């Protein structure tokens, strides 16, 4: 498989090419907004770090467009925000600490101006520590943040400044896909869209599908790239935001990338998929075989050079015979360990285990149990 990072770079190149067209038309964007996730893990691979550096140089260094970004839940806020204080002067604004929320990026263009605020993704408990109160949900944390911002936002309004917010969150009403890492363990991860209506625009990160939430001014641009089967067929692109002195003149538009490859999910048996004519699209293969064939990925990748994932989706699993009147424990006590394991394998693979495998299992289990007996006096 070709590494995905090259394809991601191609998408960034396309974004820069679109910006160049806008510049050529005399409409240089003031700021690029990145609402996270910046990377897909808290310690990103060196190659990904280098490519972000290159992209920022293309936008800020070569095109004079400032960049405002916030870390998402995959990111480490501290690492993404490394040297943020110094970088402020260079056109890169990273909102990475609770304090940074109160230092908006101010942009002025002609007679209009805007204040861009950013809320870095932090756990509710971390916000609680900052506000010295117990915060157990993302919504409670957002409420506390916005409450503390009220006087500043009022001052912006008085000064005629438009306000923009960068937020990495799961806003109630949004449609998720399979590839967003859950925002919280326990506790509610949903935040209420109601809280966001005072801003002129809210640039949301986290959900991978581009979508508006309750208003055209509260939007997810979506990821630049599809990352899971549930994103097959979903458009990828970016949102252009034009804010004017008069709110009525604002223009907010989603622009989709024309992608050379789309994401396809193919289901079938391993042998059938191997016979499929080669495809240049991204492919997620869902095999109907009862057992994942040996080296399935490597062999399928010869047909689908942009294979992303091979999973197994057995056609029909027989429903377990028990109608579960007894507890699992009661059923287990009546049966030998190898029978319990055999039943599990039957449920998981349809075929269950062969006589030979069963013999091996009995032998291994008795050896293991004997060792345990010796160990426990």
Is residue 57 within 8 Å of residue 81, measured between CB atoms?
Answer: no
120 binds Mn ion (CB under 5 A): no
* Of positions 71, 72, 120, 222, contacts Mn ion by CB under 5 A: 72
| Interface segment toward Mn ion; rule CB under 5 A; list 67-75, 236-244, 267-275, 326-334 | 67-75
138 binds Mn ion (CB under 5 A): no
Q: Which residues between 24 and 43 bind Mn ion (CB under 5 A)?
A: 37
Is residue 210 within 8 Å of residue 175, measured between CB atoms?
Answer: no
Distance of alpha carbon 42 from alpha carbon 190, whole angstroms? 22
Distance of alpha carbon 369 from alpha carbon 258, whole angstroms? 61
CB of 141 to Mn ion, least distance (A): 15
209 binds Mn ion (CB under 5 A): no
Peptide bond into 37 cis (omega under 30): yes
Smaller CB distance to Mn ion: residue 175 or 367? Answer: 175
Is residue 212 within 8 Å of residue 197, measured between CB atoms?
Answer: no
231 binds Mn ion (CB under 5 A): no
CB of 206 to Mn ion, least distance (A): 4
Distance of alpha carbon 310 from alpha carbon 307, whole angstroms? 8
CB of 87 to Mn ion, least distance (A): 22
Smaller CB distance to Mn ion: residue 29 or 222? Answer: 222
* Of positions 73, 163, 223, 230, contacts Mn ion by CB under 5 A: 73
Tokens of 161: 């400044």
Tokens of 158: 């008085």
Tokens of 4: 């995905």
**DSSP character for 61?**
I
Smaller CB distance to Mn ion: residue 93 or 168? Answer: 168
CB of 78 to Mn ion, least distance (A): 17
Q: What is the contact surface with Mn ion in residues (CB under 5 A)?
A: 37, 72-73, 206
């Amino acid at each position: 498989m070709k590494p995905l990072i090259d394809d991601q770079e191609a998408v960034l190149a396309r974004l820069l090419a679109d910006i160049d067209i806008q510049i050529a038309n005399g409409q240089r964007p003031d700021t690029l907004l990145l609402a996270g996730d910046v990377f897909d893990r808290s310690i990103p691979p060196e190659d990904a770090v280098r490519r972000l550096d290159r992209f920022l140089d293309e936008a800020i260094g070569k095109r004079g467009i400032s960049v405002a970004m916030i870390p998402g839940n995959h990111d480490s806020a501290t690492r993404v925000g490394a040297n943020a204080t110094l970088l402020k002067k260079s056109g890169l604004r990273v909102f990475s600490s609770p304090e940074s929320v109160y230092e908006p990026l101010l942009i002025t263009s002609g007679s209009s101006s805007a204040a861009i605020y950013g809320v870095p993704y932090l756990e509710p408990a971390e916000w609680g520590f900052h506000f010295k109160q117990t915060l157990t949900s993302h919504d409670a944390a957002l409420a506390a943040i916005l409450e503390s911002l009220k006087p500043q936002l009022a001052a912006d309004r008085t000064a005629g400044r438009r306000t923009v917010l960068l937020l990495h969150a799961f806003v109630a009403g949004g449609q998720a896909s399979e590839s967003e890492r859950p925002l919280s363990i326990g506790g509610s991860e949903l935040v209420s869209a109601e809280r966001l209506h005072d801003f002129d625009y809210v640039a949301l990160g986290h959900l991978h599908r581009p979508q508006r939430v309750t208003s055209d001014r509260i939007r997810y641009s979506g990821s630049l790239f599809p990352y899971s089967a549930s994103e097959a067929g979903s458009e990828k692109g970016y949102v252009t935001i034009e804010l004017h002195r008069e709110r009525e003149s604002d223009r907010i538009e989603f622009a989709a990338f024309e992608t050379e490859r789309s994401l396809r999910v193919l289901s079938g048996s391993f042998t059938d998929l191997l016979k499929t004519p080669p495809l240049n699209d991204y492919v997620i293969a869902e095999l109907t075989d009862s057992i994942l064939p040996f080296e399935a990925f490597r062999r399928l990748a010869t047909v689908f050079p942009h294979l992303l994932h091979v999973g197994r989706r057995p056609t029909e699993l027989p429903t377990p015979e028990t109608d579960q009147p007894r507890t699992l424990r009661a059923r287990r006590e009546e049966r030998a360990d190898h029978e319990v394991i055999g039943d599990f394998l039957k449920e998981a693979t349809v075929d269950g285990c062969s006589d030979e495998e069963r013999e091996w299992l009995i032998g291994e289990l008795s050896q293991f149990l004997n060792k345990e007996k010796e160990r426990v006096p």
